[in-house]
Amino acid sequence: MRITLFDYGAGNLHSLAKALRGEGRNVRLETDARAAVDTDVLVLPGVGAFEPAARALEGGRDAMRDAIAAGLPCLGICLGMQLMFDASDEGDGAGLGVFGGRVTRLRTPRIPQIGWNTIDDANDPLFGRARLETAYYANSFVCRPLDESVVTAWSTHEGDRFPAAVRAGTVVGVQFHPEKSSAPGLAFVHEYLNLISNP
């Protein structure tokens, strides 16, 4: 399995690449959005700001969006999940528009949210198989989908309920960091990759 981490100049790439590796899995970094889609699985990493990440998509945004729409499996983590949406209040630039909606600041007195939080109302089997019930977050912004039927799990921070995960087939976005969420988080990543290997 060829796994490509799209490197937009930020992100926690080392620990994420380590989490993705396994028997029969080749992980590479790619800075060109068009070249990044020549893969079996595309991963959009977390950490960073929306505007520079959106800028890194320029010139290859349509190619990446079209590849995902045509069935390329994609896992978006934190900022990577936010890039799957149309736009963000955090900065200028267009997202991929895989999911309709906008990214907004958490509606809480204190930001960022840093630390562990509970996963609620998870209806994706990936969570159950991984036994992922709490996850590690580091975010000030969250996704607000136009169609909440794409939401597969929720979390709440100081009264603001937001999507912990969204999914459309083999396209999965998570607001938390599975690579920092202990053994269940790593199990979640592996369950996702197993899903791709054995559809």
Residue 14's pLDDT band (boundaries 50, 70, 90)?
confident
Give me the catalytic one of 74, 78, 143, 191.
78
| Residue 74 a catalytic site member | no
What average pLDDT does the structure give for the chain? 95
At 21, is the secondary structure helix, strand, or coil? coil
Residue 35's pLDDT band (boundaries 50, 70, 90)?
very high
Q: Of 54, 41, 42, which Cα lies nearest the Cα of 102?
A: 54
Per-residue pLDDT, averaged over 173-187, amounts to 97
Evaluate if residue 9 carries a pLDDT over 90: no
* pTM (two decimals): 0.96
Q: How many residues does the chain have?
A: 199
| Alpha-carbon gap, residue 96 to 101, rounded angstroms | 11
Residue carrying the six token digits 């983590």? 77
Range of the domain at 28: 2-197
| Residue 179 a catalytic site member | yes
> How many domains is the chain partitioned into structurally?
1
Per-residue model confidence as pLDDT tens digits over 46-89? 888 999 999 999 999 999 999 999 999 999 999 999 999 999 99
Specify the pairing of strand 101-105 against strand 141-145: antiparallel
Per-residue pLDDT, averaged over 128-151, amounts to 97
CATH number at residue 84: 3.40.50.880
Evaluate if residue 90 carries a pLDDT over 90: yes
Give me the catalytic one of 74, 179, 190, 191.
179
The answer to whether the CB of 90 falls within 8 A of the CB of 50 is yes
Give me the catalytic one of 74, 143, 177, 191.
177
% of the chain at pLDDT higher than 90: 91
pLDDT at residue 12, as a whole number:
67
| Residue 143 a catalytic site member | no
pLDDT at residue 198, as a whole number:
83
Residue 188's pLDDT band (boundaries 50, 70, 90)?
very high
Evaluate if residue 167 carries a pLDDT over 70: yes
Distance of CA 128 to the CA centre of its chain: 18
Per-residue pLDDT, averaged over 171-191, amounts to 97
